[in-house]
């Protein structure tokens, strides 16, 4: 039986030899990294790169756009450390976190890029990521994806192959009694056709395959303008609700009741873009304050209590009828449920317990 490895642990483990081994084991080799710069729009000044890893694709990008500002997300710190060593003096804003839960600044980037990273996720997760990428791009922005995909050139029935990959993955998760909400390293590539459909569903236009060698495919997509932003935002909110229900629905409904959860979903559905952006800002400030407070070691301290107040403000945007009992109940869930706990343990080991204790003090 293949033992599935948690995603960040896998990539931290392979980081020392990644640049050599990875290139040797993908169809198209190093060319798949070097060619991507040419698909970025002329005059690119800001770039969002998800799953940026060691930055194999950045060498050619920096040759074409020496002053481009790159915001990169990656779950593996050791990969990011090697990227920094490669590109001293470049404008790099690197985030050591999973892009699945990250909040991207709206209308902030000229281009976005993913390279050999999204073939680990299911349709709903990918579509949600594509919607957030769409929202992060400026009108006219271009998204470039280079990934492991299944095509009619390589398979008689690519959809059947895709289905088998997902069946195998779910079977391993069940057999090994793994947490389905965690990220594990296992390839679940999708068909080229499905990739294009998901990008179109997310709001992109002019979606097309621009390069292909065996199972490595490069797709580009465009954000036409602001006319579809409202419609895209409505779909994005529904994705948030659907994914929360899928991941946490049974637990939160058992703890807080169907009425409370249905009311929370209704509030999200009625949220404006401005309210969502304010929630994003608050959550970012909350996490930054919590991390600083954890370093002090005092859950009753000023920083810890400020973090709790920011958390209350964030909760009040997304969940109606806030009260102290509800707040403390969430604090307990952040510790008792490993999926919630993992969100805070990424900030620092022991942070979930620290937050729970701080919330209990705040709500007294």
* pLDDT tens track for 294-313: 999 999 999 999 999 999 99
Smallest Cα–Cα separation from 327: which of 276, 280, 270, 286? Answer: 286
The stretch 172-191 carries a mean pLDDT of 88
Asked if 11 and 79 touch (Cβ cutoff 8 Å), the reply is: yes
What's the average model confidence in pLDDT over 6-23? 93
Q: Pick the closest to residue 95 from 109, 111, 79 (CA basis).
A: 79
Average pLDDT over residues 203-214: 94
CB 98 within 8 A of CB 75: yes
Residue 228 has pLDDT above 60, yes or no: no
Q: Does position 245 have pLDDT exceeding 90, yes or no?
A: no
Three state DSSP letters for the chain? CCCCCEHHHHHHHHHHHHHHHHHHCCCCCCHHHHHHHHHCCCCCCEEEEECCCCCCCHHHHHHHCCCCEEEEECCCHHHHHHHHHHCCCCEEEEECCCCCCCCCCCCCEEEEEEECCHHHCCHHHHHHHHHHHHHHEEEEEEEEEEEECECCCCCCCHHHHHHHHHHHHHHHHHHCCCCCCCCECCCCCCEHHHHHHHHHHCCCEEEEEEEEECCEEEEEEECCCHHHHHHHHHHHHHHHHHHHHHHHHHHHHHHHCHHHHHHHHHHHHCCCHHHHHHHHHHHHHHHHHHHHHHHHCCCCCHHHHHHHHHHHHHHHHHCCCCCHHHHHHHHHHHHHCHHHHHHHHCCCCCHHHHHHHHHHHHCC
Q: What are the φ/ψ torsions at residue 115 (nearest 5 degrees)?
A: -130, 115
Class of domain 236-362: mainly alpha
Q: What is the mean pLDDT of residues 40-56?
A: 96
- Give the whole-angstrom CA distance, residue 311 versus residue 279: 10
Neighbours of 203 (CB within 10 A): 22
Residue 97 gets the label, from left (phi > 0), alpha (psi -120 to 50) or beta, of beta
Tell me the mean pLDDT in the region 269-291: 88
Q: What is the pLDDT of residue 306?
A: 97
Tell me, what's the pLDDT at 261? 87
Rounded to an integer, the average pLDDT of 241-268 is 84
Nearest to 55 by CA among 103, 25, 93: 93
pLDDT at 227: 41
Quote the pTM value.
0.64
Q: Identical fold at 7-224 and 236-362?
A: no
Rounded distance between C-alpha atoms, residue 71 and residue 47, angstroms: 6
| pLDDT number for residue 230 | 65
Residue bearing tokens 């791009």: 137
The whole-number pLDDT of residue 361 equals 97
**CB-based contacts of 120: which residues, under 8 Å, 6+ apart?**
7, 183, 185, 186, 187, 188
What would the CATH number be for the domain defined by 7-224?
Answer: 3.40.50.150
Structure tokens at 317: 């945007």
Output 235 or 113, whichever has higher pLDDT.
Answer: 113
pLDDT > 90 fraction of the chain, expressed in percent and rounded: 66
pLDDT at position 181: 73
Distance CA 306, CA 36 (A): 44
> Given a cut of 60, is residue 23 above it in pLDDT?
yes
Residue 127: CA atoms inside 13 Å, Cβ hemisphere, count?
20
Q: Any idea where the domains of the chain sit in the sequence?
A: 7-224, 236-362
**Residue 277 pLDDT level (bands cut at 50, 70, 90):** confident
> Cα separation of 280 and 208, whole Å?
32
Please tell me the predicted confidence (pLDDT) of residue 186. 94
Is pLDDT of 1 > 80?
A: no
What is the pLDDT of the chain when averaged over all its residues?
Answer: 91
Distance of CA 78 to the CA centre of its chain: 18
Of the listed ranges 145-149, 201-205, 208-212, the least confidently predicted one is 201-205
Task: Select, from the ranges 81-95, 157-171, 244-258, the one with the highest average predicted confidence (pLDDT).
Answer: 81-95
Mean predicted confidence (pLDDT) in 203-216: 94
Res 237: pLDDT: 82
pLDDT band at residue 273 under the 50/70/90 scheme: confident
């Amino acid at each position: 039986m293949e033992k599935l490895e948690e995603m960040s642990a896998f990539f931290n483990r392979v980081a020392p030899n990644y640049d050599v081994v990875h290139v040797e084991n993908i169809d198209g080799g190093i060319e798949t990294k070097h060619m991507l710069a040419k698909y970025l729009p002329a005059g690119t000044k800001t770039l969002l790169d998800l799953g940026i890893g060691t930055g194999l694709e950045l060498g050619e990008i920096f040759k074409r756009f020496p002053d481009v500002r790159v915001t990169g997300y990656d779950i593996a710190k050791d990969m990011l450390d090697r990227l920094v060593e490669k590109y001293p003096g470049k404008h790099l804003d690197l985030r050591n976190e999973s892009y699945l839960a990250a909040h991207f600044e709206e209308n902030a980037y000229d281009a976005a890029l993913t390279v050999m990273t999204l073939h680990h996720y299911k349709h709903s997760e990918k579509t949600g990521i594509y919607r957030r990428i769409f929202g992060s791009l400026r009108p006219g922005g271009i998204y470039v994806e280079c990934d492991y995909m299944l095509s009619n050139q390589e398979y008689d029935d690519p959809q059947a192959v895709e289905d088998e990959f997902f069946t195998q993955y779910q079977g391993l998760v069940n057999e090994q009694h793994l947490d389905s909400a965690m990220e594990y390293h296992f390839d679940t590539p999708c068909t080229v056709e499905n990739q294009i459909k998901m990008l179109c569903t997310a709001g992109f236009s002019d979606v097309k395959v621009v390069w292909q060698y065996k199972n490595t495919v490069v797709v580009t997509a465009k954000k036409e303008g602001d006319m579809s932003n409202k419609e895209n935002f409505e779909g994005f909110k529904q994705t948030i609700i659907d994914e929360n229900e899928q991941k946490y629905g049974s637990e939160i409904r058992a703890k807080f009741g169907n009425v409370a959860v249905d009311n929370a979903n209704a509030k999200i559905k009625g949220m404006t873009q401005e309210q969502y952006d304010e929630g994003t800002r608050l959550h970012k400030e909350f996490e930054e304050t919590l991390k600083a407070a954890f370093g002090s070691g005092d859950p009753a301290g000023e920083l810890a209590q400020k973090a709790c107040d920011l958390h209350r403000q964030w909760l009040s945007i997304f969940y109606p009828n806030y009260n102290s009992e509800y707040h403390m109940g969430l604090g307990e869930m952040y510790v008792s449920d490993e999926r919630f706990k993992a969100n805070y343990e990424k900030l620092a080991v022991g942070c979930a317990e620290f937050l729970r204790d701080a919330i209990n003090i705040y709500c007294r």
